Structure 1
Amino acid sequence: MQPISPFPTLVSVPPVPLRTVGVGRGARVAATAWTLFLEARPAVQLVFLQRILVTSGFLVVPHPDAGRLLLGWPMLAVAVYVFNGVCDQDEDRVNGSGRPLAQGRIGIRVAGISCAATGLGGLLLCGWSGPGPLLLAVASLALGWAYSAGPRWKDGAVSSALSVGAGALLTYAAGWLVYGGPHPVLMLGALLAVWVTCCCPTKDLSDREGDALAGRRTLPVLLGPVRTGWVLGVVALVAGGLVAAAVLVLAPVFLPVAVVVVVGSVLVAVALPAASRATDRVGRRRPYLMFLSCQLAINVAAVAVMV
């Protein structure tokens, strides 16, 4: 029996056919690929690529296995995030998302085919890198399915955060498996995954309306945006301090990473109170964008230490 949609009043937005633009077949394929990449959140995909660079040692000692993983793992991430967009299409429309699927700029069928193609391609490349990366690649796809489709871990505040953190940990671990480098590198990835788990709920502040209609129990839905802002601010500060302290004790060579974690946590915490009171989507998303920017800076600092 099919579940009843929680969005009965929404009007379906038909996809815009690219063939009407008056361009050649190759250009249409390129435009479709770019639109799908936009759906997969380019900044998030850059973070996944950075995570592989941090633990795979590719910039230190370039080797084929790490190179194949650098191609394969981002393909898995694209598949997971486009699939999430397919599953969240109705909620994203309610929340005013600008992503292509929510705006009807690409169809569900095309998105589904791309998920299958990029997922399979990613599995093949990860398997070519070794049995360990292949196993983690399968786990990553399974996690993406469980998060978005069933049992829909995205619906709970704790299960959603743990899923995002687990995705970060799997990525760092996959890079480390092909590198076989020192344990502090893997330890760093695990600590950063903890920080990601604690701060990632900032993404839910801008999606409260759609999440509530979908029956999700995120922190903004359960506590309201203002209380959520204060709770997440405290969590960000505590998590940032503990993770930075652990980095200094267990892997002191990564001191720059610890510094960026602390600074990033403070910036996220400072942005949360105003964002929790904002009435527009842009204002509500500032803490998440700050969190995302801090991830980029953290990974850059980690790579700089290794190189």
Structure 2
Amino acid sequence: MTTAPLTSPPRVQRLRSVVRHCLAESRPVVQIVFLMRFVVGAVCAVSDGDDWSVPGVLVGALAMTCAVMAAYLLNGVMDIAEDRANGSQRPIARGDLPVRVAAGVVWFLSGVALFLAVFVSGEFWLVALSLCMGYAYSVPPLAAKRRTATSAATVIVLGASSYLAGAVSAGGEIPRGPLLFCGLLALWMGFVGAVTKDLSDITGDRAGGRRTIAVVYGERAARMFAAVSAVVLGGAGLLLGLHTGPALLAGAVPLALGAGWVVLRCLWPDANRARGPYRAFMVTQYAANTGLAAGLLVGG
């Protein structure tokens, strides 16, 4: 006598599939770095001598994570044509995650984010701002993604909101020095990340009628812009760290080194690694945020 293997009911299987595809569509690597920004903001507040509000940080982190996931899912919903033209393998572009289902999850996550933020003093408006930036980035009539300047502005605000949300969730504020450095890291997102991201998406962006630097002025101009921005921001971070002290230097050194890496990838591109500059940007912000948090914890 054989026993049939236990299987989950069809509804449970479908739910698991939707959750798995939504997580993939919202880009876990990006979600983690947004969470890191939130944690850095909380660490900044604690390093300033404020008491650590553990429940506030946990609830606040979940609220902001839901908001950012909603923003990236919405982007996937609105970017189907461009993503398919660029050969994207994300679930919505592949057809594995139906647009209608993804849109429903966007509404659900947005509601959860706002609901949770109500319980964290000062975070509600930051979560609401993040949701608005996600909407403005992807949805007409603004559709900030269509131009590099507006795209950069929205991601800068989204990044800055994550740092501030971490601080208010911890029950404090970010001191002047770390606040300036967090601002540099937010600018890094807009002036380096938003530009290098487009380098591998020129075909789809042109097909979608976007007016990015890479589409309007060419790939070479976009690479030069990203390289110059990386040098300026990396140098500014290093000067700020040298002026302020070891805690900020722990984040400034990885930022400066990463800026050099971005320059190399931009000015001496590898034809087989179109996303090389963007990967250099991404690894750099991981290292800089980790270094800043570690420096503040040790120094505090």
User: Do the two structures share a fold, i.e. TM-score over 0.5?
Assistant: yes
Structure 1 residues 250 and 91: alpha-carbon distance in aligned structure 2, compared to 1, 3 A threshold: same
Which piece of structure 1 moves more, 84-93 or 149-158?
A: 149-158
Letter in 2 for 1:80: A
Aligned to 1:72: 63
Letter in 2 for 1:39: E
- 2:266 maps to which of 265, 272, 278: 272
3-state secondary structure, aligned to 1:196: helix
Aligned to 2:86: 95
| Post-superposition offset of 1:273 | 2.9
| Post-superposition offset of 1:274 | 4.0
Aligned to 2:203: 209
Aligned to 2:281: 291
- 1:38 maps to which of 19, 24, 35: 24
CA contact (8 A) 1:176 1:185 kept: no
Identity within the alignment, %: 32
3-state secondary structure, aligned to 1:228: helix
Counterparts of residues 239-258 of structure 1 (less than 5 Å): 239-250=233-244, 253-258=247-252
| Post-superposition offset of 1:83 | 0.1
What is the TM-score with the length of structure 1 in the denominator?
0.86
Distance 1:305 1:252 in 2: 7
Letter in 2 for 1:224: G
What is the TM-score with the length of structure 2 in the denominator?
0.88
Distance 1:169 1:122 in 2: 17
Give me the CA root mean square deviation.
2.0
Deviations 1:137-177 (A, max 9, x none): 11111111111003111111111111111110111111112
Aligned to 2:111: 120
Deviations 1:17-45 (A, max 9, x none): xxxx9964323212210110100011000
Structure 1 residues 125 and 196: alpha-carbon distance in aligned structure 2, compared to 1, 3 A threshold: same
- 1:28 maps to which of 4, 9, 14: 14
Structure 1 residues 146 and 251: alpha-carbon distance in aligned structure 2, compared to 1, 3 A threshold: farther
| Post-superposition offset of 1:74 | 0.6
- 1:134 maps to which of 124, 135, 160: 124
Residue 190 (structure 1) aligned with residue 176 (structure 2): no
Deviations 1:248-289 (A, max 9, x none): 3356521110101101111111111344x73x6xx2111111
Distance 1:59 1:25 in 2: 44
CA contact (8 A) 1:191 1:247 kept: no
Structure 1 residues 185 and 152: alpha-carbon distance in aligned structure 2, compared to 1, 3 A threshold: same
CA contact (8 A) 2:246 2:295 kept: no
Q: How many residues align?
A: 282
Distance 1:62 1:133 in 2: 13
- 1:53 maps to which of 29, 39, 45: 39
Distance 1:78 1:182 in 2: 25
Structure 2: where are the runs of 5+ without partners?
A: 1-6
Letter in 2 for 1:188: F
| Post-superposition offset of 1:306 | 2.6
Deviations 1:214-246 (A, max 9, x none): 111111101211232223212211221123323
Aligned to 2:133: 143
CA contact (8 A) 2:178 2:248 kept: no
Letter in 2 for 1:44: V
Distance 2:178 2:232 in 1: 23
Letter in 2 for 1:116: W
Aligned to 1:17: none
Aligned to 2:4: none
